[in-house]
Amino acid sequence: MPALNLQPHKLYHIYNRGNNRETIFYSPENYRFFLTKLRRYLTSHLRILAWCLMPNHFHLLVQVRENADLSRCSTDLRLLLSSYTRAIQRQYGRTGSLFQQHTKAKELASNEYALACFCYIHQNPLRAGMVRELAQWVWSSYPDYAGLRNGTLCDQSAAAQVLDLPTEAAQMARLIQHTLPEDIAGVLY
């Protein structure tokens, strides 16, 4: 995996999916294990503003920390994915690549696109038909922003400041559910 071309203070949509679009999360324990690794490997380099884990892919909205070691960040992302892959291979007796070879990091050059990405990431389970309501998908930061859980992975204060988010949970839930221009996919990928 080549080094990510990240710059301090900038916002990025980071994502990857299963090789051949195959499943990468098989059980709740797999989701939790990935989140533990995400916290361990990336939070010293990146502020996680939003996240969503889907059965065959993941999305992160991040802001690069001012003092991030950018070469170490790429290495740590590689370690996160490879250590998770080894664990899944052992647990399920599989071989070969679990993730696509290149993790993408798309810079979000404007706050408008960053806000749309924030909403898009949280809407992903609903758009994929996995749930009827966003609150039903526990593998995203939506329950934290909607006031349904007190998760600590996301830096909600940084997200509120950077994205000019509402502070009230009900307003936040409405914003996430109703903000997404139809032509946004070209900007986010």
Q: Look at residue 170 and tell me if it is in a domain.
A: yes
Tens digits of residue pLDDT in 112-142: 889 999 999 999 998 899 999 999 999 999 9
Q: Print the domain residue range for 100.
A: 11-188
Tens digits of residue pLDDT in 40-99: 999 999 999 999 999 999 999 999 999 999 889 999 999 999 999 999 999 999 999 999
Q: Look at residue 126 and tell me if it is in a domain.
A: yes
Nearby residues of 105 by Cβ (< 8 Å), 6 or more positions away: 4, 5, 6, 12, 13, 14
Q: Look at residue 3 and tell me if it is in a domain.
A: no
Q: Look at residue 30 and tell me if it is in a domain.
A: yes
Mean pLDDT, rounded, of the chain:
91
Structural domain tally of the chain? Answer: 1
pLDDT computed for residue 189 by the predictor = 46
More confident residue, 61 or 186: 61
Q: What is the CATH number of the domain that holds 95?
A: 3.30.70.1290
Q: Look at residue 2 and tell me if it is in a domain.
A: no
Backbone angles phi, psi at 166, to 5 degrees: -70, 155
pLDDT computed for residue 186 by the predictor = 52
Q: Look at residue 6 and tell me if it is in a domain.
A: no
pLDDT computed for residue 177 by the predictor = 81
